[in-house]
Structure formats: C-alpha cells, structure tokens
Amino acid sequence: EEQLVESGGGVARPGGSLRLSCAASGFTFDDYGMSWVRQAPGKGLEWVSGIKRSGDTTAYADSVRGRFTISRDNVKNFLILQMNGLRAEDTALYHCARGFLGGPLDYWGQGILVTVSS
Amino acid sequence: EIVLTQSPGTLSLSPGERATLSCRASQSVSSGYLAWYQQKPGQAPRLVIYGASRRATGIPDRFSGSGSGTDFTLTISRLEPEDFAVYYCQQYGSSPPFTFGQGTKLEIK
C-alpha cells in the first residue's frame, strides 16, 4: 500500500528555517515525480514545488522560489523541502504528494503543520 | 501562469440530485492535463478525475469529468451523502506552476 508520511514541521521565527521530510513506502519511489502542496488555515490548495523522478528537474511556485529547495533521496526513499527565509504567509499544512510534470497527484500524505510566528 | 477559476463557489444540493462543477482556465491546458480532487474536513485531498475524464482508482462511476482546452466540468450524477466535500481542479501540464482552482464547496441543502 502506497504511503507518504511527512515530518519536520513546527514553529519557526520569521526569517528562520525548517526542513520537511516525506518518507515514501509501498511503491517504487524513483519511478515517480513528487510534489509539495500546502494549505493555509481555512484556505485552498497551493502547489509549492515539484521534482522529477531523477531529481534533475525542479520547479517552484513564485511565492517560494529562491527561499525553498526541493530534493530527493532515491536510495532512502525520502522527499525533502528545505525552507529558508520563512514568512508569516508560509504558515500552512504541508502535504507531500506523488506526481509532477504530466502526472496528477494520486497519493497524498496527511500533512505536517508549519507555523511561522514571532 | 495558468489561472483556474471554479464556479460556483458553493453548491447546495440534496442527496440524489445531480451536481455540475465548472473549472475555467485562463489559457489552454495542454493535453487535457486537468485533475479534480475531493477534500473532506481534516483529510488530505483525494484524486477523483485525471486527464480531464479518467476516473482514479476506486472512484465510483457516478463521478465523471469532461472538457478540453479551457473549459472543464466535474459531474456527480446522483449525490450520495459521502460526496459532500470541497472539490478542487488542478492543471498539471507541461509548464509549472501547477495551479489549483479556489475550490467549490458542495454542501447538503
């Protein structure tokens, strides 16, 4: 059974950093592109970033480009989101999801909460 | 960036009725790379339709998707109590960012 489990969330100060991880299991991880999607409290879904299965191509939403970095470890089956220069508007539930270029988001993790506050 | 606009914002219907949700794109969605997701309170989104018209695994056949280019529709032929949720469309074509619509809340009348 396909499973995605996020970790690494918490509270950070404005300007601070957090590193999110997503552990993948139940499928061949390096066969799929992966994405991060976030949802601010009471708001809709926002696609944040994605990475191709080989890791050689990445993409970002304008709102996070230059501050966030997506990467993956195809040996340990992990997806990573390094978040620097955090802002209050980055406060959200962050979901890891399977899918990227040309592929829908067909499996989702339950999400991990990131709160940016002074 | 492709902007997706969903309508209506809220749809109030009764079980057994037919639901029609719309998603309009600011420019053509390449190769019909349009998906619909269902989200219930406290849960992660669930893929319902991909490729504009293909049902995802385990999705009942009362759900159907249609459309191409800039206009897409999700139809639920006969609403069941478990279908009441928020629905989002998303384009995942050749060029990021892979934007979502703002969502349609399907509520019980």
Question: B90, B4 in Cβ contact below 8 A?
Answer: yes
* pLDDT over 80 at B31, yes or no: no
For B37, the closest chain A residue by CA position comes to A105
Q: Pick the residue with more confidence: B97 or B55?
A: B55
B90 interfaces chain A, CB cutoff of 8 Å: yes
Secondary structure (3-state) at B81? helix
* pLDDT over 90 at A75, yes or no: yes
Residue A67 φ/ψ region, left for φ over 0, alpha for ψ in the -120 to 50 degree band, beta for the rest: alpha
User: What do you get for the CA distance between the two ends of chain A, in Å?
Assistant: 40
Contact: A35, B98; criterion CB under 8 Å: yes
Q: Which pLDDT tens digit goes with each residue over B59-89?
A: 999 999 999 999 999 999 999 999 999 999 9
How high does pLDDT run on average in chain A? 97
Contact: A45, B37; criterion CB under 8 Å: yes
Q: Which pLDDT tens digit goes with each residue over A27-66?
A: 999 999 999 999 999 999 999 999 999 999 999 999 999 9
Across the range A63-85, mean pLDDT stands at 98
